[in-house]
């Protein structure tokens, strides 16, 4: 053990660990010598550090209240403003607001005409929505293994998986990293199939392209962002489809709104709000869905987009705090980002080194949660989820890199306003749990 680790309270593995509550008290006192913990028997010693937390200011509250006072709560001008802000930031012609990122992926696949009998190449290491949307349209997800550094799909395996039945590549910027997006774009163009960019974790990031820098969301025929409360910006629930394809944008606008017709002038200025009258409001051209984003969510998004650069800067600062604090921890693999890429940090995920098992990882996370430190196993492999495994016969070992990464990842608390003290508390708790696992093996 390094000499400096021996000087940290509670980290010497020669000291038996009897009561984790006593260790939490020691951490709190070590971090703040003037801190006097509550001595009531059931009182928490410090506030919980959540896995994520939205960054809501008076600006967001003002915008939402303004919409409430307007009386126009759906299909209105605030959504149009939010769409313009996102399209301008990404650099696309169109942005189409929807109820969730998952809804955006679903509509994108439908608009591209993907359906039963088709194959879509995608990653097994992602949130389940990137595969569920393929299943929604009756297509087959074809998984390929990942690059162990970026955790995005291995481009060589993507190309090798293409068959005459392949109708699209659905690529995910895992944790907000755009690595290999230009390679996927090139492969898709060579085989004349669309690239669908699941950018739900990457708003504000930029990567490399043949023509220079390219924003996340603008690599594919269509990109989709998600605005769940743990994302870079939030609308509570919400998503956004971005594209330069006029026809695709119009189809998505129609299908998000129950299949109503879409003219070049937005429906929100020509059709009555719910409860209104008029033949056009009750005329439908195709099967559609209620995937609209409401004005309250859009108002929250407008305020957050205006603060996007500030939000991204704050997230980078938290990353820097974690990296400085954990850089010497030899039992962890920290995120490793190519200098040429500009990641938009969705989460901060560390990996245990190869000698740790899934069971040890799970015990470490359980110990952190007992200490009121939020954490998660980002991501369980999709091909081993029961409904996917049962449908397609996947088994452990099919994608060894994704599976190896998956069983050793720990997402640490990550949000805009984490302080040095928060990061230090998370790091010390993680080190204590690592030391405890070391004692088990002695």
**Measuring CA to CA, how many Å separate 114 from each of 281, 301, 358, 362?**
28, 30, 37, 38
Positions of E strands within 41-165? 94-98, 119-122, 140-143
When mean pLDDT is compared across 268-282, 286-300, 324-338, 421-435, the lowest value belongs to: 268-282
- Whether the Cβ atoms of residue 198 and residue 169 lie closer than 8 Å to each other: no
- Total residues belonging to the chain: 442
Under CATH, which number does the domain 58-306 receive? 3.40.640.10
Global pTM value: 0.87
pLDDT bracket for residue 39 (50, 70, 90): very low
Domain 3-50+308-440 maps to which CATH number in 1.20.1260.10, 3.50.50.60, 3.90.1150.10, 1.10.150.530?
3.90.1150.10
**Measuring CA to CA, how many Å separate 216 from each of 50, 64, 377?**
27, 27, 25
- Give the pair of three-digit tokens for residue 403: 């599976």
Residue 418 has pLDDT above 70, yes or no: yes
**Per-domain boundaries in the chain:** 3-50+308-440, 58-306
Three-state DSSP class for 133?
Answer: helix
pLDDT in tens, 57-91: 999 999 999 999 999 999 999 999 999 999 999 99
Sheet of strand 332-333: strand arrangement: 332-333, 348-352, 409-412
The pLDDT value recorded for residue 210 is 74
pLDDT in tens, 352-367: 999 999 999 999 999 9
The pLDDT value recorded for residue 80 is 98
Residue 103 has pLDDT above 70, yes or no: yes
When mean pLDDT is compared across 210-219, 342-351, 363-372, 405-414, the lowest value belongs to: 210-219
Residue 221 has pLDDT above 60, yes or no: yes
pLDDT in tens, 179-220: 999 999 999 999 999 999 999 999 999 998 777 889 999 999
In angstroms, the CA 166 to CA 122 distance is 11
Mean pLDDT of all residues in 388-397: 98
DSSP string, 216-264: TT-SSSEEEEE--TTSSS--SS-EEEEES-HHHHHHHHHHHBTTB---S
* CB-CB neighbours of 6 under 10 Å: 11
In angstroms, the CA 109 to CA 200 distance is 15
Can you list the alpha helix ranges (DSSP code H) found in 91-128?
A: 101-111
**Measuring CA to CA, how many Å separate 160 from each of 39, 332, 383?**
62, 32, 19
Distance of alpha carbon 268 from the chain centroid: 30
């Amino acid at each position: 053990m390094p000499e400096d680790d021996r000087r940290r309270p509670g980290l010497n593995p020669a000291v038996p660990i009897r009561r984790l509550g006593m260790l939490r008290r020691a951490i709190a006192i070590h971090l703040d010598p003037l801190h006097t913990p509550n001595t009531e028997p059931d009182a928490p010693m410090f506030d919980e550090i959540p896995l994520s937390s939205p960054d809501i200011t008076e600006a967001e509250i003002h915008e939402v209240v303004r919409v409430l006072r307007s009386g126009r709560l759906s299909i209105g001008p605030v959504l149009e403003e939010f769409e313009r802000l996102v399209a301008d930031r990404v650099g696309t012609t169109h942005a189409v607001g929807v109820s969730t990122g998952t809804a955006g992926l679903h509509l994108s696949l439908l608009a591209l005409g993907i359906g039963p009998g088709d194959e879509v190449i995608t990653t097994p290491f992602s949130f389940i929505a990137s595969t569920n949307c393929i299943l929604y349209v009756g297509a087959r997800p074809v998984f390929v293994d990942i690059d162990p550094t970026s955790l995005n799909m291995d481009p060589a395996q993507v190309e090798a998986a293409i068959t005459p039945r392949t109708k699209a590549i659905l690529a995910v910027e895992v944790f907000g990293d755009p690595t290999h997006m230009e390679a996927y774009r090139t492969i898709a163009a060579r085989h004349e199939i669309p690239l669908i960019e699941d950018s739900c974790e990457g708003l504000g990031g930029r990567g490399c392209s043949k023509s220079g820098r390219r924003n996340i969301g603008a690599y594919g025929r269509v990109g989709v962002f998600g605005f769940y409360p743990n994302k870079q910006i939030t609308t509570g629930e919400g998503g956004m489809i971005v594209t330069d394809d006029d026809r695709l944008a119009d189809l998505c606008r129609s299908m998000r709104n129950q299949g109503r017709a879409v003219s070049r002038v937005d429906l929100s200025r020509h059709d009555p709000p719910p409860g209104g009258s008029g033949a056009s409001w009750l005329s439908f051209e195709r099967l559609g869905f209620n995937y609209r984003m409401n004005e309250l969510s859009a108002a929250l998004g407008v305020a957050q987009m205006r603060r996007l650069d500030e939000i991204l800067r704050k997230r980078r600062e938290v990353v820097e705090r974690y990296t400085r604090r954990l850089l010497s921890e030899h039992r962890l693999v920290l995120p490793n980002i190519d200098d040429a890429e500009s990641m938009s940090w969705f989460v901060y995920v560390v990996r245990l080194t190869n000698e740790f098992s899934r069971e040890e990882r799970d015990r470490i996370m359980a110990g952190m949660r007992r200490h009121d430190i939020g954490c998660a196993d980002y991501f369980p492999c999709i091909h081993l989820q029961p409904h996917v495994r049962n449908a397609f016969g996947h088994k452990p070992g099919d994608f060894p890199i994704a599976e190896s990464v998956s069983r050793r990842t720990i997402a640490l608390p990550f949000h805009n306003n984490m302080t040095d003290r928060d990061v230090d508390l998370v790091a010390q708790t993680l080190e204590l749990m690592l030391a405890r696992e070391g004692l088990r093996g002695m």
